[in-house]
Structure 1
Amino acid sequence: MEDVNLIGESLKFMVLGMVVVFSFLIILVQVVKLQAKIINKYFPEETPKAPTSSGQSDESQRIAAIIAAVTEFRKK
């Protein structure tokens, strides 16, 4: 007879624990969404700028640096 009472109590605690965890997760998601809205309001993302002609120069310098590194590596 006492076993039925213990099983009932354990089910109650299981449901209560699941409700508490689920409620906490819902509150956490809402707080994170609110935080994202606040951050986007006061610190908006900058739009990326279109590449200019100096972008070609940067790319050429990057390629030259890679070639120099590979050449130096092969000397060893």
Structure 2
Amino acid sequence: MDLMIMPDSITEGLYLLGMGMGVVFLFLTLLVILTGLMSKMVGYFYPEPAANTGKVNKDADNEVIVAISAAIHQHRKLKK
């Protein structure tokens, strides 16, 4: 092997290493920024619905409430 060629190939290899890592770093940085922007846009155009206050609807069907209560009672009775 020629000893004069070796430093040139090492220099070229380090140059390619630096360029490749730089391109990947820039791509990932751009990806993080764009993902954050898209997340903010989705939050702006599609806001979260208002939280449920936990109040029972007064127009709820009494038969449904009785059926649910009976099912819960039956389940708890069989579980013991």
Using the size of structure 2 for normalisation, the TM-score is 0.65
Which of 29, 39, 44 in structure 1 is aligned with 2:32? 29
- What is the match of residue 7 of structure 2? 4
Give 1 or 2: higher helix fraction: 1
1:38 is aligned to 2:46: no
Which of 20, 33, 54 in structure 1 is aligned with 2:23? 20
- Structure with bigger gyration radius: 2
Cα separation, 2, equivalents of 1:25 and 1:64: 52
Q: CA deviation at 1:25?
A: 0.6
1:47 is aligned to 2:55: no
Question: Percent identity between the aligned chains?
Answer: 26
- How much is the aligned-residue C-alpha RMSD, in angstroms? 2.9
- What is the match of residue 67 of structure 1? 75
Letter in 2 for 1:10: G
State the number of aligned residues: 66
Cα separation, 2, equivalents of 1:47 and 1:12: 55
